[in-house]
A = this chain, B = another copy of it.
């Protein structure tokens, strides 16, 4: 057990934006809320999964919908607590042992910290993605057959829904329909899980990893190259491209931010070109027409100089960026993981090839 203070939250929010792979929502407002919550209630306890009891119950809380909308109509902290409590009451449990992020990437890294601080509960160093993903069934718990429901869904106006579904894709379908009707953004509490389930099916240590990523990116008086090297080593990542944003096409549709951006090579990649496709999160990167990284592996855009993570909502013409690829957690690289969140699920008609192989192939081709 250790305490998360203001500095820890600052760093986690940066690491979470990085792991958000463009989506997951900008953690900025969430960070302010989390800091305010610990200033009022004291620092939050962070437990590793080894420290929690198998039979205890934990409930995550998150935002659902198009990140571009959630940052426009951001709820207040009490609403996160409300959806959490709605689900715990529906479950008939008043002894929920703690909370944790369902999605460590993006704003959903911060919401459980707000809930933990306000309710005096611990946060667990675990999530269900190891990154951000756009749909509710894209969760490692789902891969192991843990039900997403009962779930609670609320909006900032005070409407409340509860679902119990026959499978987790139906959870996604019904909750998405309600999210769209609620204005393309909603608060959800779902995947109520035991400590044992989190030990078996969660992505462990992700809050700490986010913090470490954030520490590197936030560190002062170091040049980009030096920081990048340390970052890539920490996450076993690759720099895929250095480019300037020359085109972005996007729309908000069906409760998602959908689109594609085009980058023109700079520095080491002059003359080259990269397309990045996204549905909330970056899903596929094509370099000079050839796929170099694909979901469920992570495709992260960072500022060329500062390495600050860039969300799809803040893509700007002319911005100079680095594109970084990270291997997904091993749970996503199983047959079930690829079926659930691989390229074919998102409508790209090719087989999943791990990032490392694609990168090495590209290197070989160059020789």
A interface list, Cβ under 8 A from B: 157-166, 170, 173-174, 176-178, 180-182
Contacts and interface: CB of A to CB of B under 8 A. Distances in A.
A161 B159 contact: no
A178 B179 CA distance: 10
A105 to B, nearest CB: 26
A166 B177 contact: no
Q: Is the interface of A mostly helix, strand, loop or mixed?
A: mixed
A165 B163 CA distance: 14
A86 to B, nearest CB: 9
26 contacts: A157-B166, A157-B170, A158-B166, A159-B163, A159-B164, A159-B165, A159-B166, A159-B174, A160-B163, A160-B165, A161-B161, A161-B162, A161-B163, A161-B174, A162-B162, A162-B163, A173-B181, A174-B178, A174-B181, A174-B182, A176-B181, A177-B177, A177-B178, A177-B180, A177-B181, A178-B178
Contacts of A173: 181
A164 B170 CA distance: 20
Contacts of A162: 161-163
Nearest to A173: B181
Nearest to A180: B177
A156 to B, nearest CB: 11
* Nearest 9 interchain pairs by C-beta: A177-B177, A162-B162, A177-B181, A160-B164, A158-B166, A159-B165, A161-B163, A173-B181, A159-B170
Contacts of A165: 159-160
A165 B181 CA distance: 13
A342 B199 CA distance: 58
Contacts of A180: 177
A178 B164 CA distance: 13
A190 B355 CA distance: 51
Contacts of A170: 157, 159
Contacts of A182: 174
A51 to B, nearest CB: 35
A206 B220 CA distance: 77
A160 B164 CA distance: 5
A166 B174 CA distance: 19
A161 B178 CA distance: 11
A160 B173 CA distance: 12
